[in-house]
C-alpha cells in the first residue's frame, strides 16, 4: 500500500486539527453536530487535499469530481474544509447561527460554492450522487462522485434503493464512504436499529466494499485513490471512526451528537484537540 510523505501527513494533520478548532470556535455561536463532524473531518480533509480533482477558483468546472455530504448534519466539517481550500472567506464561518448566515447547520447548495447538493434529511445523498454518476456515464465524462454516508443513516430505505440502482447501472464512478462511528442521536446504532453488517449488505446489493480506519490518513488516501475497487461496480469504503474524535473527554459519547457547550467547556475541548494534534504530529516524526 502506498504511503503519504511525512510532509503530506503533517499538512493533513494540521488541517484536520485546525479544522476541529475552528468548529469548536463556531460552537460559540450555537449548537454543532460535533460527534459526526469530528468523526468525519479526517476523511473530508484527505479527500479535498489529496483525492478529489477540483478547483476552488472554478467550483462549477464541468470535469470536477463531485462530493456529496449525504449525512448533511456534518456540514460544519465540510464548511471548514471548503473554507480552508479557498472556496470562500473565513469570515463566513463566523456568521454561524447569525441572521441570513450562509452556513446553516445543514448545507444548502445555493448558499456557498463547493456544495453540490442540499442535504440534511438523511438518505438522499446516495440517490443524488447516483444520478450525477449516471449522467457522467451517459455523457462519457470522467468525473467521479463521492458520497459520504453515516452508519445510522443506512437505516433509511432510500439508501438501499440507490444502492440497488447504482449496481444495476454498474456505476463504478460512484464511491460511497461510510463514516461508521457506531453511534447516533439516542445511543449505539446496533441497539437502535442494527445496520450491520454493512459490508455484507452493500456486497449483496452488488457493490465492492472494503473497510479502513477512518482516522488513518494513509489508509484513507490509498483506498480512495484506488477506486473503483472493481471495474463495473460501485465502491463502498467503510471507514471505522470514533465519534467526537480529537476531544479526548468527548470521544465515543453519543450525547455529543448535537451539542452546545459553554465557553469553559469549549476552551477545554480546544486544549484537548491541540494536545491530540501535537501527539499525532509526534507519531510521524
Partner 1 sequence: MNRPIIKEIIESPKEVFRSVIVELGKKNKNVIFVSCDTSLGTGADEFKKTYPDRHIEFGIQEQNAITASAGLALSGKIPYIGAHVPFIICRCVEQIRNDLCVTKANVNIIGRDFGLQFSALGPTHMITEDIGILRTLPNITIIAPADGPEYRAAILTACEIDGPVYIRLSRQPTKRVNNGNYEFKVGKGNILRNGKDITLIATSSMVSRSVEAANLLQHEGISVEVINMHTLKPLDKEIILESSTKTGKVVTVEEHSVINGLGSAVADVLIQDNPIKMKMIGIEDCFVIVGQSYEELLDYYGLTGPKIAQSIKSFLDQFRV
Residues making contact with partner 1 (CB under 8 A): 108-110, 116-118, 120-121, 124, 127-136, 138-139, 157-158, 161-162, 164-165
For residue 97, what are the contacts with CB-CB under 8 A and spacing of at least 6? 29, 30
98 or 141: CB nearest partner 1: 141
C-beta atoms surrounding 61 within 10 Å: 13
Q: Say if residue 79 is preceded by a cis peptide, omega within 30 of 0.
A: no
Measured distance CA(278)–CA(260) in Å, rounded: 25
C-beta atoms surrounding 2 within 10 Å: 8
Please, what is the minimum distance in Å from the beta carbon of residue 10 to partner 1? 36
121 or 200: CB nearest partner 1: 121
Please, what is the minimum distance in Å from the beta carbon of residue 133 to partner 1? 8
Please, what is the minimum distance in Å from the beta carbon of residue 18 to partner 1? 31
Give yes or no for a contact between 34 and 256, defined as CB atoms under 8 angstroms apart: yes
1 or 138: CB nearest partner 1: 138
HSE on the CB side for 23, CA within 13 Å? 36
Please, what is the minimum distance in Å from the beta carbon of residue 97 to partner 1? 20
Please, what is the minimum distance in Å from the beta carbon of residue 163 to partner 1? 9
114 or 118: CB nearest partner 1: 118
Measured distance CA(25)–CA(12) in Å, rounded: 20
Amino acid at each position: 500500500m502506498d504511503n503519504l510523505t511525512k510532509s503530506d501527513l503533517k499538512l493533513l494533520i494540521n488541517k484536520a486539527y485546525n479544522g476541529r478548532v475552528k468548529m469548536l470556535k463556531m460552537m460559540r455561536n450555537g449548537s454543532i453536530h460535533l460527534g459526526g463532524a469530528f468523526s468525519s473531518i479526517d476523511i473530508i480533509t484527505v479527500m479535498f487535499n489529496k483525492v478529489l480533482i477540483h478547483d476552488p477558483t472554478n467550483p462549477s468546472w464541468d470535469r470536477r469530481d463531485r462530493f456529496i455530504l449525504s449525512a448533511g448534519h456534518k456540514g460544519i466539517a465540510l464548511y471548514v474544509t471548503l473554507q480552508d481550500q479557498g472556496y470562500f472567506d473565513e469570515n463566513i464561518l463566523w456568521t454561524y447561527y447569525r441572521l441570513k448566515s450562509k452556513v446553516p447547520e445543514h448545507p444548502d447548495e445555493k448558499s456557498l460554492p463547493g456544495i453540490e447538493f442540499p442535504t440534511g434529511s438523511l438518505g438522499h445523498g446516495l440517490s443524488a450522487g447516483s444520478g450525477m454518476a449516471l449522467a457522467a456515464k451517459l455523457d462519457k465524462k470522467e468525473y467521479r462522485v463521492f458520497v459520504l454516508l453515516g452508519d445510522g443513516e443506512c437505516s433509511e430505505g432510500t439508501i438501499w434503493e440507490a444502492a440497488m440502482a447504482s449496481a444495476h447501472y454498474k456505476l463504478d464512478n460512484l464511491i460511497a464512504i461510510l463514516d461508521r462511528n457506531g453511534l447516533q442521536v439516542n445511543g449505539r446504532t446496533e441497539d437502535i436499529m442494527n445496520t450491520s453488517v454493512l459490508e455484507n449488505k452493500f456486497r449483496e446489493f452488488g457493490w465492492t466494499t472494503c473497510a479502513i480506519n477512518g482516522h488513518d490518513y494513509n489508509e484513507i488516501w490509498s483506498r480512495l485513490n484506488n477506486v473503483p475497487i472493481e471495474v463495473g461496480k460501485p465502491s463502498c469504503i467503510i471507514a471505522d471512526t470514533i465519534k467526537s474524535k480529537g476531544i479526548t473527554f468527548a470521544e465515543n459519547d453519543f450525547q455529543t451528537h448535537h451539542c452546545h457547550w459553554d465557553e469553559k467547556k469549549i476552551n477545554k475541548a480546544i486544549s484537548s484537540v491541540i494536545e491530540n494534534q501535537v501527539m499525532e504530529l509526534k507519531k510521524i516524526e
